[in-house]
A = this chain, B = another copy of it.
């Protein structure tokens, strides 16, 4: 499994997509990946919304200035957490990271578009997707076949590492 670690470096934020659509099998792989993420409490499971409808993707693209690439993406996944779970944000972030990594493994491009905790963005997404008040969307994940290439990331910085204590 040591080579599999390269998946972590190959994942980059891809914001340009071709018109080729993602298959149902690929969507299922992405959902399985999300559900394999660790959870703080089995009472509170993350919920996932899958959007492939062009008109809805175009509306979601208007959420804020950094979501425009949803006009090109052929898939958007939205990870939602139950607000009663005080670790919902962490749980949903781990699930989001797994979706991004699975997309990379499938040869798809993807990018994490922050929504929470911006109240305007949360309200827009909640309204478009009928998300109940007891849940919150963490982010939009734009996914599609990549129309740009980026080298694997190399951001190693020992200045951010503390040994023994801070």
Contacts and interface: CB of A to CB of B under 8 A. Distances in A.
Interface residues of A, number: 71
Given A36-B153, A38-B13, A105-B4, A50 B96 contact: no
Contacts of A7: 1, 4-5, 7, 101
Contact of A35 (B5, B96, B100, B156): B156
Interface string A43-86: 00111111101001000000000000000000000001000001
A3 to B, nearest CB: 7
Interface string A17-59: 0000000000011011101111010000111111101001000
A91 B100 CA distance: 14
B93 A8 contact: no
A165 B130 contact: yes
A147 interface: no
Given A2-B106, A49-B161, A129-B166, 17 more contacts: A2-B107, A4-B105, A5-B33, A5-B102, A11-B38, A31-B156, A35-B156, A35-B157, A49-B162, A49-B165, A49-B166, A90-B90, A90-B116, A90-B139, A94-B112, A131-B166, A132-B166
